Amino acid sequence: MSLLQCTDLAKQFSDGENITSVLEGVNLTVDQGQSVAVVGSSGSGKSTFLHILGGLDTPTSGTVLFNNENIHQFNQAKAAQWRNKNIGFIYQFHHLLPEFTALENVAMPLLIAGQSTSTAEETAQAMLVRVGLAHRIKHFPSQLSGGERQRVAIARAMVHQPELLFADEPTGNLDNATGLAIYALLLELKTEYNMTSVIVTHDAQLAAKCDKQVTLTSGKMAEL
């Protein structure tokens, strides 16, 4: 069954003078439980595409259906609730909140969902242990290494066990060995929690581990 379906997706950015066309008629179906790797050169629109699929940005035209519902027709409250419940997003650069500890960052989606602080922090702590950061729970992002920050970002994206996980090249700024360890963890957890996932990567080896590989070139998507 398809969980996510995008049809004829187009995205243009306009600054009043120039129009940049980034996506042109993109179609993609992601089945329940499937993992899809998105590859493409820098500037090909991978982040733009992921942000539109995750409801963080709107398309110029076309539709994104999640369980047959058009996510861009949700009102603001419904969109926020949908994201909080169903979506995990690991950003290209971790996007952790600098003034909160690792534990507080990971607990955030649960607090937003209405859990008590003690319940949320208990679950967040277990998730941080799961990603190998038992010894860094009280650290602030500035006190963590790049790889540790991405582990926190993974824990935050998965702590509420979302149905759909997006990862936007989460190892872009890490050394090779650290990057591979982060991806291994990501794939392991995705399988453990049975999450459907869309992962942007430059890494051909990682892309090959996903069920389906698609590429973005000149605004068009093709299956590899």
Residues that bind ligand ATP (CB under 6 A): 13, 20, 22, 40, 42-48, 92
Closest approach of Cβ 171 to Mg ion, in Å?
12
Q: Residue 199 Cβ, how far from Mg ion at the closest point, in Å?
A: 12
Alpha helices in the chain (DSSP H): 46-53, 76-86, 102-112, 117-130, 146-158, 176-192, 204-209
Residue 197 interacts with Mg ion (CB under 5 A): yes or no: no
In this chain, which stretch among 24-32, 46-54, 122-130, 132-140 interacts with Mg ion, using CB under 5 A? Answer: 46-54
Question: Is residue 47 at the binding interface for Mg ion, with CB under 5 A as the rule?
Answer: yes
Q: Contact 163/13 with Cβ under 8 angstroms?
A: no
By a kind-dependent CB cut-off of 5 to 8 A, residue 156 interacts, out of Mg ion, ligand ATP, none, with none
C-alpha–C-alpha distance, residues 82 and 85, integer Å:
5
Q: With 0-12 CB in 10 A as exposed, 13-18 as middle and 19+ as buried, what is 172?
A: middle
- Binding at 30: pick from ligand ATP, Mg ion, none (beta carbon under 5-8 Å per type): none
Residue with tokens 């038992």: 134
Report d(CA 156, CA 141) in Å as an integer.
13
CB of 45 or CB of 141, closer to Mg ion: 45
Tell me which residues touch Mg ion (CB under 5 A). Answer: 47
